[in-house]
């Protein structure tokens, strides 16, 4: 269980980006963080991974406050995938193996290497194991970053726009895999998304950010036309086609 309570953050000299943000995510559920550009979505998950230090509030995983743990302990609980996937001269295998750092002593054990190989196989990267990151496409690097996070075996998976560099098929494959792993391993996943249809299809929890606060949060009931229209300032219809939820935007219709 993930619990975020009264989380607030402001960049130096600026107004609050997050102001008293709070929500929960049960085990085995994927939570989409939604909102316009500048709403604080990326800042939120950076605070949750201790990349940024919030001014107040707590982030608890299974009752353990992540800010009270050592870096090593925290890295065993939470794994973060940034918007921009890393590049460089590391091979894909070595980059994914870095996800085992919280567990490695003097050297990587056979179990660490097996975890890295399993994560690469899940993302379809086995054939690229010896390729350098800077030889890959943006989408392939993004998959490598996700594989590294999975190799970390976290209780909390934090994904910042994980589909932004992927083609349409790969977007659906990746989100389907994220949902499958979240359910199968019983972890909590928090995922920043801009695509409302991907969110509606693959996520079961939703947090809408607006004006530095949580506008709405919850399960399927929170993903409704009223909340979307208020947060995005855009008229939408929610429908279902062959059992798949569909968000149809009508930006040309002026909101009152």
- Domains in the chain (CATH in brackets) are 2-85+157-250 (3.40.50.300)
List of residues 6+ apart from 224 with CB closer than 8 A:
238
Least trusted range by pLDDT, from 35-39, 82-86, 127-131, 154-158: 82-86
| CA–CA gap between residue 136 and residue 207 (Å, rounded) | 33
| Element at 156 (helix H, strand E) | strand 156-160
- Extract long-range pairs of 25-28: CB within 8 Å, 24+ residues apart: 25/1, 25/188, 25/189, 25/190, 25/205, 26/1, 26/188, 26/205, 27/1, 27/186, 27/187, 27/188, 28/182, 28/183, 28/186, 28/187, 28/188
pLDDT at 256: 58
Cβ–Cβ < 8 Å for 138, 164: no
Helix (H) or strand (E) holding 121, with range, is helix 110-122
CA distance 59 to 51: 13
This prediction has a pTM of 0.92
HSE (side-chain half, CA atoms, 13 Å) at 124? 9
DSSP H/E element including 113: helix 110-122
The predicted-structure confidence for 64-74, as pLDDT tens digits, reads as follows 999 999 998 99
pLDDT confidence band for 165 (50 / 70 / 90): confident
The residue-averaged pLDDT of 213-226 equals 95
């Amino acid at each position: 269980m993930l619990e975020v309570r009264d989380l607030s953050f402001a960049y130096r000299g600026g107004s609050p980006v997050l102001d008293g943000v709070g929500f929960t995510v049960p085990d085995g559920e994927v939570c989409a963080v939604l909102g316009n550009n500048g709403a604080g979505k990326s800042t939120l998950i950076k605070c949750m991974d201790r990349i940024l230090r919030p001014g107040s509030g707590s982030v608890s995983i299974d009752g353990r406050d992540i800010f009270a743990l050592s870096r090593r302990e925290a890295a065993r609980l939470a794994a973060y995938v940034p918007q921009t996937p890393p590049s460089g001269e590391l091979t894909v295998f070595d980059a994914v193996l870095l996800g085992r750092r919280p567990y490695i002593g003097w050297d990587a054990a056979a179990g660490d290497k097996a975890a890295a190989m399993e994560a690469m196989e899940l993302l379809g990267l086995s054939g690229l194991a010896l390729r350098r990151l800077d030889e890959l496409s943006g989408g392939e690097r993004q998959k490598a970053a996700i594989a590294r996070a999975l190799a970390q075996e976290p209780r909390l998976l934090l994904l910042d726009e994980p589909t932004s560099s992927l083609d349409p098929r790969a977007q659906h494959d990746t989100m389907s895999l994220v949902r499958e792993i979240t359910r199968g391993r019983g972890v909590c996943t928090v995922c920043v998304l801009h695509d409302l249809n991907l969110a509606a299809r693959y996520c079961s929890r939703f947090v809408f950010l607006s004006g530095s606060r949580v506008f709405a949060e919850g399960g399927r009931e929170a993903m409704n036309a009223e909340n979307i229209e208020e947060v995005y300032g855009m008229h939408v219809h929610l429908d279902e086609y062959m059992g798949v939820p569909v968000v149809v935007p009508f930006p040309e219709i002026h909101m009152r």
